[in-house]
């Protein structure tokens, strides 16, 4: 049965990490997978996370199963972080939040829920979008179309084209937006643009579906969810997938959530059963540890203040690396305007180099970046930035 199987090509993002690990070049740099690295090139466990783990080891007295929808306390914390308490109260029983195994688990359960609600639904994704959106949602049987998003020549969102496209999306379809720190481009919607998206969503009646993987990595925990909150308070229905991989640094603990806002509390009660059933059919229940860490941190004022502080340090460092890269490219005499990188948000930006130049960066200079020219800004530091700049200069 297995003899005729052929190997698949490496994953476009995770495959780079494997190639990087196998590379013997001491100057190698991994600008591929979206993982934060500190000034020493490490991905540290956040201080509050370490403390919460100590508390959990000392206090946890059972490893019995959790519910398919996860820990109720964690779900409320995620909803509060995303919506703020006032809006959360306003939405009341119209909102359902369930714990999921990371953002990916949330996307997968959302996809199955969407298929159940409307088997004919098309999900409209930004061009470009995260490389795993289509494989992940598509494996649940959803159909896709793209809306224009990033203009590689102006390095900005082509919003007029995007809006024009969205104004043709019918009721019953979904529009997948990135809540903040657009992956892969780093180019986010402005507040005015979110307002315009709200108007078109209300006029057309399509359902907005938000992937919120980077809350707190752009401008701040509240500023990054301006669009999410705007749509949550004004649209009858909304789907949001949250991830704690980046903002709590819980990557491998697979800690996420899926929130569905419905027109009525009755619909939300039905949705809860559908999400629980989808979880049960896939993985039975989400892993507990990461969610227990988040809950422990957020229920402890000292730990949550420290977490907020460390997250700000991470955010500020990424933003200063953006400025540093632009400045070093300029100082090195690179004859191209990279100032757009400084205006973008989150971990990623497109370098905007050709495919052959990407291959040269990888194979000659051991600088690993995604095939779209996406680079992880958060992987740079004082030790590697000049090598990166010189290598970019050489390939240009």
Binder among 13, 210, 291, 361 for ligand LMR (CB under 6 A): 13
Report CA-CA distances (Å) from 148 to 83, 131, 175, 178, 237. Answer: 28, 16, 12, 14, 23
Asked if 250 touches ligand LMR (CB under 6 A), the answer is no
Q: Is the separation of the CB atoms in 180 and 216 below 8 Å?
A: no
Q: Is 130 a catalytic residue?
A: yes
For residues 384 and 204, what is the distance between their CA atoms, to the nearest angstrom? 48
Interior angle at CA 199, CA 193 and CA 201, nearest 5: 100
Which one of residues 33, 82, 298, 303 is an interface residue with ligand LMR (CB under 6 A)? 33
Is 338 a residue that touches ligand LMR (CB under 6 A)? no
Nearer to ligand LMR, 30 or 173 (CB): 30
Residue of 173, 246, 307, 345 marked active site: 246
d(CA 275, CA 134): 21
Query: Which C-beta is closer to ligand LMR: that of 169 or that of 244?
Result: 244
Interaction mask 136-175, ligand LMR, x per CB under 6 A: ----------------------------------------
- From 130, 158, 173, 307, the catalytic residue: 130
CB of 87 to ligand LMR, least distance (A): 27
Which is nearer to ligand LMR, 71 or 377 (by Cβ)? Answer: 377
Least separation, in Å, of the C-beta of 130 and ligand LMR? 6
58: number of CA atoms within 13 Å, CB side? 7
Catalytic residue among 30, 173, 188, 211: 211
CB of 368 to ligand LMR, least distance (A): 12
Between 139 and 331, CB nearer to ligand LMR: 139
Count of chain residues binding ligand LMR (CB under 6 A): 6
Which of 151, 155, 130 is closest to 34 using CA atoms? 130
| Rounded Cα–Cα distance for residues 200 and 221 (Å) | 26
Active site (annotated) includes residue 393: no
Q: What is the 3-state secondary structure (H, E, C) of 82-120?
A: HHCHHHHHHHHHHEEEEEEEHHHHHHHHHHHHHHHHCCC
Let me know if 93 is a catalytic residue: no
- Looking at 213-263, which runs of residues are DSSP E strands? 238-243, 255-261
- Which residue from 269, 199, 222, 214 is spatially nearest to 87, judged by alpha carbons? 222
> 7: Cβ–Cβ under 8 A, 6 or more apart, which residues?
none
132 is a site residue for ligand LMR (CB under 6 A): yes
Confirm or reject binding of residue 122 to ligand LMR (CB under 6 A): no
Q: Quote the least distance from Cβ 188 to ligand LMR, whole Å.
A: 16
Q: Which residue is nearest to ligand LMR (CB)?
A: 34
Query: In the complex, what is the shortest distance from the CB of residue 197 to ligand LMR, in angstroms, rounded to a whole number?
Result: 23
350 binds ligand LMR (CB under 6 A): no
The minimum distance between CB 244 and ligand LMR, in angstroms, equals 13
Q: How far is CA 366 from CA 52, 200, 233, 334, 370, in A?
A: 38, 45, 47, 20, 13
In the chain, the largest separation of any two C-alpha atoms, in whole Å, equals 62
x/- contact string, 169-188, with ligand LMR (CB under 6 A)? --------------x-----
Burial 130-169 (b: 16+ CB within 10 A, else e): bbbbbebbeebebeeeebbbbeeeebebbbeebbebbeeb
Number of alpha carbons in the 13 Å side-chain half-sphere of residue 47: 12
Q: Is 34 in the site for ligand LMR (CB under 6 A)?
A: yes
Nearer residue to ligand LMR within complex by CB, 206 or 209: 209
Contacts with 185 (C-beta within 8 Å, 6 or more apart), sequence order: 128, 149, 150, 344, 348, 349, 350, 374
Told to check if 214 binds ligand LMR by CB under 6 A, we report no
Of residues 84 and 128, the one with the C-beta less far from ligand LMR:
128
Q: Which is nearer to ligand LMR, 33 or 87 (CB)?
A: 33
Q: By the criterion CB under 6 A, which residues form the site for ligand LMR?
A: 13, 33-34, 130, 132, 183
| Residues noted as catalytic | 130, 211, 246
């Amino acid at each position: 049965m297995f003899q005729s199987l052929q190997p698949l090509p490496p994953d476009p993002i995770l495959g780079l990490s494997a190639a990087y690990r196998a590379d013997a070049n001491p100057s190698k740099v991994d600008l591929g997978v979206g993982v934060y690295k500190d000034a020493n090139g490490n991905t540290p466990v956040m201080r509050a996370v370490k403390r919460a783990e100590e508390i959990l080891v000392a206090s946890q007295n059972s490893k019995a199963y959790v519910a398919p929808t996860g820990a109720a306390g964690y779900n409320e914390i995620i909803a509060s972080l995303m919506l703020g308490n006032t809006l959360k109260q306003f939405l009341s029983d119209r909102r359902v939040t369930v714990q999921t195994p990371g953002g990916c688990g949330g996307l997968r359960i959302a996809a199955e829920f969407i298929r159940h609600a409307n088997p004919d639904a098309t999900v409209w994704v930004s061009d470009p979008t995260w490389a795993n959106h289509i494989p992940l949602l598509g494996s649940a049987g959803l159909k896709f179309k793209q809306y224009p998003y990033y203009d590689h020549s102006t390095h900005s969102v082509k919003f007029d084209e995007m809006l024009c496209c969205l104004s043709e999306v019918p009721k019953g379809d979904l529009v997948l937006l990135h809540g903040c720190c657009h992956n892969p481009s780093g180019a986010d919607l402005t507040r005015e643009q979110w307002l315009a998206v709200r108007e078109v969503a209300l006029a057309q009646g399509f359902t907005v579906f938000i992937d919120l993987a980077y809350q707190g990595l752009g401008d701040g925990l509240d500023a990054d969810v301006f669009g999410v909150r705007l749509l949550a308070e004004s649209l009858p229905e909304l789907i949001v997938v949250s991830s704690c991989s980046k903002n709590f640094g819980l990557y491998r603990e697979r800690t996420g959530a899926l929130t569905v806002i419905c027109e009525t509390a009755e619909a939300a009660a039905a949705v809860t059963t559908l999400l629980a059933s989808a979880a049960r059919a896939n993985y039975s229940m989400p892993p507990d540890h990461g969610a227990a860490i988040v809950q422990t941190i957020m229920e402890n004022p000292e730990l949550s203040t420290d977490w907020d502080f460390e997250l700000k340090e991470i955010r500020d460092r990424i933003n200063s690396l953006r400025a540093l890269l632009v400045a070093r490219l300029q100082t090195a005499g690179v004859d191209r305007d990279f100032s757009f990188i400084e205006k973008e948000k989150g971990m990623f930006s497109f370098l905007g180099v050709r495919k052959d130049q990407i291959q040269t960066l990888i194979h000659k200079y051991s600088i690993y970046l995604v095939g779209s020219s996406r680079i992880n800004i958060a992987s740079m530091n004082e030790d590697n930035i000049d090598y990166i700049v010189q290598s970019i200069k050489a390939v240009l």
